[in-house]
A and B are shown apart, each in its own frame.
Chain A
Amino acid sequence: MSEAAPIPLRVTTPTVRQPAVARNVTELSERAKKVAAIDVDFFYGTHQALHGISLEVPENCVTALIGPSGCGKSTFLRCLNRMNDMIDETALKGQILLDGIDIYQRGTDVVELRKRVGMVFQKSNPFPKSIYENVAYGPRVAGIKKRAVLDEIVEKCLQQSALWDEVENRLDDSALQLSGGQQQRLCIARALATNPDVLLMDEPASALDPKSTAAIEDLIFELKSNYTIVIVTHNMQQAARVSDQTAFFYEGHLVEVGSTTDMFTNPGEKKTEDYITGRFG
């Protein structure tokens, strides 16, 4: 098996789902659980994309979701702020708790949820508006009208996303004139402006050059003291560098989850080891 094994077409449901958590009873498990998924199934029409995912996200940590394309990690991420609701004919079974409250229960205010759970997309997607208006949009739709308050939020968020020094003098310029890396940091600033608890990042650096990627990674490291971050990444080194906890997805199953150090040095599952060492995916 140590030889380059052919990529298996199907994989059976792993018998052990969360060995790493059991193995690593250190800091991670002692932290408060910010988000907890309990036995989540997710369907696109009749196609089941997620199978019984149970995953806990500790507060003020970076949790990395890794796995080959189409394994369901992005789908899972989008369940956490109910962005999948926008896709027709999708269904979710199970529970996702945010601070102990099920966000899929009847009567959940999705708009309120999305203010608490911010999102940064794979491809930077600033609005075709000025830099200022991009950051101010979240607070504006939340009902903040006072210019002074908005000014303060915009400055604070742009500073947090390490963009302030570069755009300070051109806040009224179009956001689309910024470089790719700057645009992505602007999108992070925009997500921070609603003052969320949790920040979801869907491969935030996959379209960026190494320098911009490093800037984003530094930023993630800075942000985790104030926010709980869940990041999807294709880049193993990135997951190893930025995250505290890593979850490995494969074909809609959560194969293994554990502290990043454990996962990368001593993976509990053969599959995880194969993926991390680059044998497939």
Chain B
Amino acid sequence: MKLHAHSKSRPYAKFASTCFAVMCGFCTVLSVLVLLVVLWNIFSYGWSALSWNFVTSWPSRFPAKSGIWSALIGSLYLIGVTAVVSVPVGVGAAIYLEEYAPPSRWRTLVQVNIANLAGVPSIVYGILGLGLFVRMMHLNRSVIAGGLTLSLVVLPIIILSAQESLRAVPSTIRQASYALGATRWQTIWHQLLPVALPGILTGVILSLSRALGEAAPLVVVGAATFVAFTPENLMTDEFSALPIQIFNWTEQPQKDFHQLAAAGIIVLLVVLISMNALAIILRQRFGKKVKW
């Protein structure tokens, strides 16, 4: 009763609180709804075109024979190269900036630049990749050139998220470790990285997911839209990728190809969801080392 009396004395507070809750709920429903509409659209359109045959076939002029195999493999290779390059470099840079670099103008400059680079449109990296990897380093239009370009796209995001995770480790843990006679390396390896790992992994997966969906830089670097083989030599062979293939199909005049595009999107979504699942498994496995 007393509670009731209290709320009566400030009727607007309660009303405002309810309004806010309703508004937040509405926002949630709205975003989920949009996602559901998109998914429904894609699935209703592409489901009939989706088959094991579609996944394992090469692209073709005939929609009925066309498949996504070369693009799928190309994308997996690309993500592999991107991960191998960007994760160690990104996490290493984050550790240096957070734990080693003394505060200086130089560090601030680097920091600001990284934050800016994270916002640079990916097509700019495509142009850089074309000039640097394809032309100057003579890597041709290969998986390596594409993967390196995508690494450039995601590196700033990986660095920033890894820095954020390292910074979130309580400073008391650092102090305790140093006070016990641990070296910097031992402190980083035994205390900071295990605690920061879930955050780092989340950043890595989010940025690799972004790389998986990127089409623009690959177009510039020169990913092919019609490849009837999987790249055997990562340094020389041409490659395709899922977003490129999907984009190409949506450009075709025949309606059947549009269905294939929708089916391709479903495949892309499945790959993304598997990557996220992998991240959750990894996080739980490594998370056992830390006992909060």
Contacts and interface: CB of A to CB of B under 8 A. Distances in A.
Interface in B160-200: 170, 172-183, 186, 190-191, 195
B290 interface: yes
A111 B176 contact: no
B172 A121 contact: yes
A242 interface: no
A128 interface: yes
A55 interface: no
Contact of A137 (B172, B175, B182, B183): B182
B291 interface: yes
A113 B182 CA distance: 11
B12 interface: no
Contacts of A88: 102-103
B176 A187 contact: yes
A91 B126 CA distance: 48
Contact of B180 (A86, A130, A173, A191): A191
Contacts of A191: 179-180
Contact of B181 (A115, A130, A174): A115
Given A128-B195, A128-B292, A129-B290, A118 B173 contact: no
A137 B177 contact: yes
A176 interface: yes
Given A137-B190, A142-B181, A130 B175 contact: no
Contacts of B178: 83, 86, 114
Contacts of A123: 172
Interface string A109-121: 0011111001101
Contacts of B290: 128-129
Contacts of A243: none
Contacts of A129: 289-291
A190 B177 CA distance: 10
Contacts of B181: 111-115, 138, 141-142, 194
Contacts of A86: 174-175, 178
Nearest to B187: A141
A63 interface: no
Q: What band does the interface of chain B fall in when counting residues whose beta carbon is under 8 Å from A?
A: 20 to 34
A229 B173 CA distance: 23
B291 A175 contact: yes
Chain A CB count within 10 A is highest, among B183, B289, B291, for: B291
A125 B180 contact: no
Interface string A123-139: 10111111000000110
B291 A114 contact: no
Contacts, number: 77
Interface residues of A, number: 33
Interface in B192-215: 195
Given A137-B177, A141-B182, A190-B176, 16 more contacts: A83-B175, A86-B178, A114-B178, A114-B179, A118-B179, A121-B179, A125-B170, A125-B175, A129-B291, A138-B180, A138-B182, A141-B181, A141-B190, A173-B291, A174-B292, A193-B180
A107 B181 CA distance: 16
Contacts of B191: 127
B40 to A, nearest CB: 43
A228 interface: no
A121 B175 contact: yes
Contact of A125 (B173, B190, B291): B173
A158 B121 CA distance: 57
Contacts of A141: 177, 180-183, 186, 190
A144 to B, nearest CB: 12
A94 to B, nearest CB: 22
A223 to B, nearest CB: 17
20 contacts: A83-B175, A83-B179, A86-B178, A111-B183, A113-B181, A115-B181, A118-B179, A121-B172, A121-B179, A123-B172, A125-B173, A126-B176, A127-B176, A128-B173, A129-B291, A137-B177, A137-B182, A141-B183, A193-B180, A194-B180
A127 B194 CA distance: 11
B154 to A, nearest CB: 29
Contacts of A126: 176
Contacts of B186: 141
Q: What 3 A-B pairs have minimum CB-CB distances, sorted nearest first? A: A174-B291, A115-B181, A125-B172
A182 interface: no
A176 B179 contact: no
A162 B16 CA distance: 54
Given A137-B190, A174-B292, A121 B180 contact: no
Given A88-B103, A125-B173, A81 B179 contact: yes
B180 A190 contact: yes
Contacts of A190: 176, 180
Contacts of A174: 291-292
A115 B180 contact: yes
Interface in B61-76: none
Contact of B179 (A112, A119, A173, A175): A119
